[in-house]
Amino acid sequence: MRAVAPDRYRATTVVTQSAYGIKPYSAFLGALKVRDEVEVEIEVRLGPATSLPQGRS
């Protein structure tokens, strides 16, 4: 994880689909395939806490 701004962070990881029982995607009779390893990237922005409206949890 790394900071991209004072209140924003980005993390990247590689997920091996077959390790979780997922068959890698293929289409067009196998002409289009996705590798078993897929890179996943997320970015979050942290800010001041906010409260939910009354009656919601």
Q: What is the DSSP letter of 48?
A: -
DSSP-based three-state secondary structure for 54: coil
Does the pLDDT of residue 56 top 70, yes or no? no
State the pLDDT at residue 28. 82
Share of the chain above pLDDT 90, in %: 37
| Spatial contact of 9 and 43, defined as CB atoms under 8 Å apart | yes
State the pLDDT at residue 42. 95
pLDDT digits (tens, 9 = 90+) for 24-42: 878 887 788 878 898 999 9
Q: What is the DSSP letter of 17?
A: G
| Prediction pTM value | 0.56
Helix (H) or strand (E) holding 49: none
State the pLDDT at residue 57. 59
